[in-house]
Amino acid sequence: YTASGFSGTSVYISSTGSDSNLGTSASPVLTYAAAVTIANANSVTNIVFKDGNYPSMEVNQTGFRLSAE
């Protein structure tokens, strides 16, 4: 997963994203794992799920604020 070039206060996930994206609203990642990697690398605590259908997942990390857009 890439974190290089990320700039922002939230990492975005989209069901149509790609884990090679930056994690911005315009360039969201596909998976929660990629979002956590980018968030940790950039000291970001907000992870936003953009509108879409997602498989069920278990979230074990603490310290993040999850929201939906």
Q: Give residue-wise pLDDT tens across range 13-63.
A: 999 999 999 999 999 999 999 999 999 999 898 999 998 888 777 777 778
CA–CA gap between residue 27 and residue 4 (Å, rounded): 13
The residue behind tokens 């884990």 is 19
**CA 32 centroid distance within chain:** 6
Answer whether 4's CB lies under 8 Å from 40's CB: no
Contacts of 66 (CB under 8 A, 6+ apart): 47, 48, 49, 59
- Confidence at 7, pLDDT banded by 50, 70, 90: confident
